[in-house]
Amino acid sequence: MRSRNRRLRLSVLLFAAVLVAAGCGEAAPEPGANKVDRQDDQLAKAQDEGEVTWYAGLEQGLVDKIAAGFEKKTGISVDAIRLGGEEASTRLLQENDAGVHLADVVYTGNEGNFVDFKKRGLLAPYRSAEVSHFDKAYYDEDLTYYVPYANRFWMVYNTNLVPESEVPKGYADLADPKWSGALAISHPGYSVGAAIVPFFWSQTDGLGLDLMDKIAANKPLINQSVHDSMAAVISGERKIAVVVNDAGFYTDGKGAPVKAIYPAEGVPTSGGGVGVAKQAPHPYAARELLDYIMSQEGQQIMADESRTVFRDDVKYPTGYVPPTSGDQNLYVVDPAKFAAEHDEIVAHFQKVFGV
Amino acid sequence: MATVTAPEVREDPASGETGLRRRARSALQRYPLPLVTALVLAVLVLPPLGWLLVLSTRVEGGGGLTLANFATVLSDERYLGAIGRSLYIGWFVGVLCIVLSAPAAWAVAKTDMPGRTTVRVLIVGSFVLPSFLGALAWILLAGPNAGILNRVYRAVTGASSGLFNIYTLGGLIFVITMSMYPLCFLLLSTALENVPADSEDAATILGASGRKVALSITIPLVTTAVLGGFILVFLEAISVFGPPAMLAIPSGFHVITTQIYALLQYPQHLELAAALSMPLLLITLLLVWLQRRFIGRRGYVTVTGKSGARRAIALGKWKWLAVGYCWLLIVVSLVLPVAVLLWVALSKSWGQGFGLSNLTLDNFRYVLFDYRPARSALFNSLTLAILAATAASVLAALISYVTSRRLVRGHQILPVLTMAPVVLPGLVLAVGLFMTYARPPFVLYGTIWVLFIAFVTKFLPYAYINTSSAISSLDTDLEDAGRIMGATRTRTLARIVFPLMKGGIMSAWILVFMVSLHELSASVLLYTSKSRVLSIVLLDLQSDGRYEDAAVVGILLLAVTLVIVGIGYRVIGKDIVNMRTN
């Protein structure tokens, strides 16, 4: 009887010990790791770390290609977590509050996120080996983040379902009741692009955030991502996707009966961002991955997938329409201004659409 | 709620030790197992509930007590609307499940309908289809424009618009009903089989008409099952996450669970999410209390009485109507969804028609070999399901043994503690666990262990119901023989009791394995990059518009489930269809 009690007590203690041990699992990065300049033994140390965790707010196909290229080049395995841009921010902030540090490299389609991350001190400044290949406009002056590509946003329609003569010319036309039940729109609470487009409306005379209310009256299908909106148009579930970017259009739309509409009011365009997390568990590997993403090889992978990048030494595939093409009235989004308006846009969307 | 009352311990003046330590030691000696179990359950259940209470009464962002969060939840029409819709859905799903399953259950249990066993196995077997997979299938089948049923309908009739729209409140109710009616069917058919035939015969002999027999004997005797089934399904319907996430958000409305989830997204409102969890918790508490109060503690299938030989009612010419009805249910709830998932998993692009040229194995190759999250999720899902099933069924078996043999003082409290988590809906438990383990001192967030805790807590009652019913049918003679022959208690347990309980323990294991594998509502809040599971990967792919790959993950889930249930069927025999989920 006595020995059984001892065993029981032992197991209670053990249980408590497991809980406590789990509580202090994460080790802090070694002090010398967070240097701004590239260190000579960075690659060797990164290979010792052996892996890197990448919060990737871009589509899976591209994530896979970049991860595979990086692994082949360095032998460091990439744990790539594909997340919607806003989910990537949610998780990073949430984990930071919890004191759990899982992310090494963070990547979203919204430079505005990085303005916010930088303000909160979540990013480690690093002078990438590739920095000389970029114009100053495409990286943070304090080197906390880089702009790996830009997204343009336009509409897409299904050519089998919308005759050429009826195709809307711009965003304002979407208020027409004839598009009732015909639209798909993405939710700005999950997708960055879905917030950038209404931001553009709010900055444009004659549109305004009111356009959201008018579109809501047409009962669009509400998707989480631009890719899901695109899928709804490809399958014919809806005729027009209100928010699609280069990624959704060129990658998902390959071979499908879809065409782009460059809205008459303008094509909002905004940079993405990539940076090293301050508390990265694999600080050296994180820097290596950032270098790879900004390298000629990494940027060419993006250009091959028709993403607009800012190195002058990349080639684009046929079919890619560059931002310089005449019928696109580009509107460049100011990341700080967008970041300031973002929460209000999400709140307005939630109010108008009910979710 | 699990309130743990420590048994009173009397002072022992003879002992040299003083204070708390001595008292704890003495309590532990007197009531070892109940105390340890109580401690384990308290550690599992109390911190999440405590944090929910603290956060729901906290001023947003910290600092000061307030009831403002509840005021917001109960006055803002968005939150009220979500609560109202959840109740509406729960009510209709409950009623529909009973109405749809009653004729089938009656035909299977009471009549000479051809193929009764097959019908029974297939209806109960549709459990292998988790509700989020049903939702995915019905988007593909009944999307208002691209849905396959609507395309076929337009092609056949030449109509300009489709027949079904799954993106509606009605569509959501339909999908949830299809995934839950097997539960009602199981309860009803078991209850009907247990209605003593001699009572019905007696009434018939005394001159009662068929209708009168039904009204005065059969129906009253199955009322418990009907009420129990209704409550069970109602609770499942208001706490489910997958179908509303896939169907309600795209159609522009929230239910409680999706609204709580949305409040936890960026920018986060922890306090409101906690406050909105309370109505769900209270409704569940109330219904579980009602069910215990009016139906009894022994579960739902408690109709007793020795039944005489089963005498099937001859259906005559109505036979084929019954067969048709049962198979219609099976086709709609099982065959169509599985078929469409298979077909989409094998399509290049599901919107592009039915031609052979649209077929490919690429999606399988991609998900199995190239898509990294799927591999780690498959590993995590299997690990978690095996660990949770083992922990829950072993714990449940021990507790049932100790309780049924009254081995220790205070054993009476064990079943109450074990069943306590029943009142915690998955998402509410997850909100609490998230609040507990995503902050110091115990940071388990970011590991699979927080999911493990969630699964064991949530599914321990399921396991317990199976093991306790297994042991209550065991006579003590064999154990006594073992003890008389000089075997220790442990040896008797290992060599005699557990082997005899094997069926009950195994069905507990299989049941917990399956529901863990299919778990979504707690996982969706608790997963991180290091701890994804298959259901999360499926939801991710779906929200990215990759229906073909999502269907592949669904087929994988089904395949793993079928293999495990199949092995169980071989080992345990047909009793596996009698597994009880509550």
Cβ separation A22–B447 shorter than 8 A: yes
Is the Cβ of B266 closer than 8 Å to some Cβ of chain A?
A: yes
Consecutive H or E run containing B385: helix B372-404
Q: What residues of chain B lie within 8 A of the CB of A185, using their CB?
A: none
Distance from CA of A133 to the nearest CA of B (A): 32
Q: Give the pLDDT of residue A23.
A: 41
Distance from CA of A329 to the nearest CA of B (A): 28
Cβ separation B545–A228 shorter than 8 A: yes
* Contact of A252 with A8, CB cutoff 8 Å: no
Q: Give the pLDDT of residue A21.
A: 41
Cβ separation A222–B252 shorter than 8 A: yes
pLDDT digits 0-9 by tens, B103-129: 999 999 989 999 999 999 999 988 889
Token digits of residue A293: 């993403």
Report CA-CA distances (Å) from B522 to A313, B154, B455, B549: 48, 40, 8, 23
Q: Give the pLDDT of residue B32.
A: 66
Report CA-CA distances (Å) from B430 to A165, B149, B235, B254: 52, 37, 16, 19
Tell me whether the omega of the peptide bond preceding residue B441 falls within 30 degrees of 0, making it cis.
Answer: yes
Q: What is the DSSP letter of B441?
A: S
Q: What residues of chain A lie within 8 A of the CB of B85, using their CB?
A: none
Q: What residues of chain B lie within 8 A of the CB of A223, using their CB?
A: 250, 543, 545
Is the Cβ of B530 closer than 8 Å to some Cβ of chain A?
A: yes
Of B167, B248, B438, the CB nearest to A221: B167
Q: Residue A269: what are its φ and ψ, rounded to 5°?
A: -135, 140
Contacts of B69-73 with C-beta under 8 Å, sequence gap 24+, read B69/B271, B69/B272, B69/B274, B69/B275, B70/B275, B70/B278, B72/B272, B72/B275, B73/B272, B73/B275, B73/B276, B73/B278, B73/B279
Q: What residues of chain B lie within 8 A of the CB of A216, using their CB?
A: 252
Tell me whether the omega of the peptide bond preceding residue A198 falls within 30 degrees of 0, making it cis.
Answer: no
Q: What residues of chain B lie within 8 A of the CB of A346, using their CB?
A: 267
Of B252, B371, B543, the CB nearest to A355: B252
Strands A258-261 and A183-186: unpaired
Q: Give the pLDDT of residue A167.
A: 97
For chain B, which residues score pLDDT lower than 50?
1-15, 297-308, 577, 579-582
Burial of A150 (0-12, 13-18, 19+ CB in 10 A): buried
Single-letter amino acid code for the residue at B482: G
- Whole-number Å distance between alpha carbons of B450 and B524: 12
In chain A, the residue whose alpha carbon lies closest to the alpha carbon of B373 is: A81
Distance from CA of A121 to the nearest CA of B (A): 18
Of A84, A99, A187, the CB nearest to B440: A99
- Whole-number Å distance between alpha carbons of A100 and B443: 8
Q: If contacts are CB pairs under 8 Å, which of residues 90-129 in chain B contact chain A?
A: none
In chain A, the residue whose alpha carbon lies closest to the alpha carbon of B542 is: A228
Is the Cβ of B486 closer than 8 Å to some Cβ of chain A?
A: no
- Whole-number Å distance between alpha carbons of B246 and B543: 8
Q: If contacts are CB pairs under 8 Å, which of residues 426-465 in chain B contact chain A?
A: 438-447, 449
Is the Cβ of B544 closer than 8 Å to some Cβ of chain A?
A: yes
What stretches of B441-578 show up as alpha helix (H) in DSSP? 449-472, 477-484, 489-492, 498-500, 502-517, 523-526, 534-543, 547-572
In chain A, the residue whose alpha carbon lies closest to the alpha carbon of B352 is: A235
Is the Cβ of B398 closer than 8 Å to some Cβ of chain A?
A: no
Cβ separation B543–A25 shorter than 8 A: no
3-state SS assignment for residue B551: helix
Q: Give the pLDDT of residue B303.
A: 39
Consecutive H or E run containing B103: helix B77-110
Cβ separation A225–B544 shorter than 8 A: yes
* Contact of B166 with B212, CB cutoff 8 Å: no
Q: What is the DSSP letter of B257?
A: H
Distance from CA of B430 to the nearest CA of A (A): 15
Q: Is the dihedral of CA B103, B107, B110, B116 positive or negative?
A: negative
Q: What is the DSSP letter of B566?
A: H
For chain A, which residues score pLDDT lower than 70?
1-32
* Contact of A81 with A62, CB cutoff 8 Å: no
Single-letter amino acid code for the residue at B579: M
Give the per-residue SS3 of chain A: CHHHHHHHHHHHHHHHHHHHHHHCCCCCCCHHHCCCCCCCCHHHHHHHHCEEEEEECCCHHHHHHHHHHHHHHHCCEEEEEECCHHHHHHHHHHHHHHCCCCCCEEEECCHHHHHHHHHCCCEECCCCCCHHHCCHHHECCCCCCECCCEEEEEEEEECCCCCHHHCCCCHHHHHCHHHCCCEEEECCCCCCHHHHHHHHHHCCCCCCCHHHHHHHHCCCEEECCHHHHHHHHHCCCCCEEEEEEHHHHHHHCCCCCEEEECCCCCEEEEECEEEEECCCCCHHHHHHHHHHHHCHHHHHHHHHCCCECCCCCCCCCCCCCCCCCCCCCEEECCHHHHHHHHHHHHHHHHHHHCC
Q: What residues of chain A lie within 8 A of the CB of B143, using their CB?
A: 235, 237
Q: Give the pLDDT of residue B43.
A: 79
Q: Give the pLDDT of residue B580.
A: 44
Distance from CA of B67 to the nearest CA of A (A): 23
In chain A, the residue whose alpha carbon lies closest to the alpha carbon of B264 is: A90
